[in-house]
Chain A
Amino acid sequence: GQQLNQSPQSMFIQEGEDVSMNCTSSSIFNTWLWYKQDPGEGPVLLIALYKAGELTSNGRLTAQFGITRKDSFLNISASIPSDVGIYFCAGAFSGGSNYKLTFGKGTLLTVNP
């Protein structure tokens, strides 16, 4: 099956710093999704990417779909304390009629005020 490597596993940063995290896949994906999960809650969709090379922003967040279709990255600019949480990447590929997302293991972000 597909494998997703998400890095880093965790990050400790100061408020105001920029953050970058990425995911790489052993297979080609045609959809990349980035989610944020607050403690004890379900993940919330941040950004969805559908085309290789696509660069999409959502406020201070920017994500890109890699040209090779095997990677994606997420940047957070000027971090604030409420950015704390676990960020997951997820990828999907077309193959058959069923839809299955492969999730990364997450990046735990801690922001020190």
Chain B
Amino acid sequence: DGGITQSPKYLFRKEGQNVTLSCEQNLNHDAMYWYRQDPGQGLRLIYYSQIVNDFQKGDIAEGYSVSREKKESFPLTVTSAQKNPTAFYLCASSTSTGVGEKLFFGSGTQLSVL
């Protein structure tokens, strides 16, 4: 089955630690995205990538980093510089970043701080 796989489902971070969230897709989509979701809030864009080896900052990129070395993979690292990392993180992909292209989401990773 085609889809987007995020792992792990739950992740705990110690203070000062960097953690990496995995996102893999087998939909052959060029564009991939990372969103952050806080309770009672809409989704906010962290980073997006239109093509391999290219990515752009979204609205809340500070404290996060990404890479896009392969078309199917777009890992997100939450660095120690992100002071409020507890949130639900969603990865998504689409055929392209053209207006109106539909986003397909993974099932998310809940990150909590120990």
Nearest residue (CB) in A for B100 is A31
Quick check: B107 and A30 within 8 Å, CB to CB?
no
**B43 and A88 form a contact (CB under 8 A):** yes
- B residues 1-51 touching A (CB-CB < 8 Å): 4, 6, 9, 31, 40-45, 50
Binds A, one of B69-77, B78-86, B90-98: B90-98
B-chain residues with CB within 8 Å of residue A97 when the two chains form the complex: 97
In the bound complex, do residue B43 and residue A103 qualify as a contact, i.e. CB atoms below 8 Å apart? yes
Contact indicator per residue, chain A 91-112, by CB within 8 Å of chain B (1) or not (0)? 0111001111111111000000
Contact residues on B (Cβ < 8 Å of other chain), bracket: 20 to 34
Interface string of B82-114 (1 = CB under 8 A from A): 000000001010101111111111111010000
Cβ contact of A101, chosen from B103, B106, B110, cutoff 8 A: B103
CB < 8 Å A-B pair total: 68
Query: B90, B92, B100, B105: which contacts A92 (Cβ < 8 A)?
Result: B100
Count the A residues whose beta carbon is within 8 Å of the partner chain — how many?
Answer: 30
List B contacts of A101 (CB < 8 A): 43, 45, 103
Given contacts A42-B108, A44-B105, contact A94 B42 (CB under 8 A): no
In the complex, A29→B78 CA distance in Å?
32
Q: What are 9 sample pairs from A and B whose C-beta atoms fall under 8 A apart? A: A30-B99, A31-B99, A33-B102, A43-B105, A92-B99, A98-B56, A99-B101, A101-B43, A101-B103
Residues on B facing A (Cβ under 8 Å): 4, 6, 9, 31, 40-45, 50, 56, 58-59, 90, 92, 94, 96-108, 110
